[in-house]
Amino acid sequence: MVTHETIAIIQARLGSTRLPGKVLLEIEAIPVLVHIVERLRKANYIDKIIVATSDLPINEEILEVCKKHKIDFFVGDEENVLKRFYDTATKYTPKNIIRITADCPLIDNLMVDELITYYKTNNYDYCGIATGAGVSGENNILRFPDGLDAEIFSFSTLEKAYTNANSKLHKEHVTPYIWQNPNIFNNGVLQSKIDYSKYRLTLDNKEDFLLIKWIYSKLYNVNPNFNIKDVIKLLENNSQMLNQNKHLIGKEGYEEFR
């Protein structure tokens, strides 16, 4: 029985080596993970938001933050993230799942709503925003900034991936089995109208954190629900700030997905 039309599952852990504890670093005195949840709560077409973390003791702090901020959470497998997602979804029995990673504190609720609408209108099995690993091997695609990553897929699509995926890559990253098998799934990509690939807005290194923290310092107190258009306008007017992390563009390790 389907109990939710669309849920968002945020995968989060504290075991990052490049920027330890990044999902709970504070921006404007609020943990990154809480910012992500709050921004997703503004989306019109998400019925429930769940943080999916792992059973390693290090992640206990994530659970405490979720409890404090009344965020639903699920504890699952550390290495087999595909299983963690499937187990989480099975508990909540949704029709559709939005996948979000906890390194995207600038996730845009308007864009997430646009993704959901585009996915449903075209009757896709899977659809992702044109950024990150999912389009790393594609040419002639207009990309959004890295860090706005979101994917949507049906529960039945996730179940097929969970049942059939065998490789370590597919189990660690949830969706590569889906977007690497277009003969099995009807896949779509939500492209930008302008190529924004020169903007790196993901949170993976100290330089990323300093840039994102600066963006929040300029926009958050004026409007906590600022969107990507506000971010782009700010960066266009302060282009020198792009030097903060531009040396990291192209070094994301996406080669393994191609």
For 10-48, write each residue's pLDDT tens digit: 999 998 788 989 999 999 999 999 999 999 999 999 999
Q: Does the structure show a pLDDT above 60 at 162?
A: yes
| Proportion of the chain above pLDDT 90, given as a percent | 83
Structural domain count, the chain = 1
Please state whether the predicted TM-score (pTM) of the whole model is above 0.75. Answer: yes
Task: State how far the Cα of 174 lies from the Cα of 82, in Å rounded to an integer.
Answer: 4
What pLDDT, on a 0 to 100 scale, did the predictor assign at position 187? 96
Residue 220 lies in domain: 4-257
Among 116, 150, 113, CA closest to 131: 150
For 57-111, write each residue's pLDDT tens digit: 999 999 999 999 999 999 999 999 999 999 999 999 999 999 999 999 999 999 9
State the first-to-last Cα distance of the chain, in angstroms, to the nearest integer: 37
CATH of the domain at 167: 3.90.550.10
Rounded mean pLDDT of the chain? 93
H/E run at residue 193: none
Alpha-helix residue ranges (DSSP H) falling in the chain:
32-40, 60-68, 81-92, 109-121, 155-164, 168-173, 176-179, 206-219, 228-237
Task: State how far the Cα of 72 lies from the Cα of 7, in Å rounded to an integer.
Answer: 11
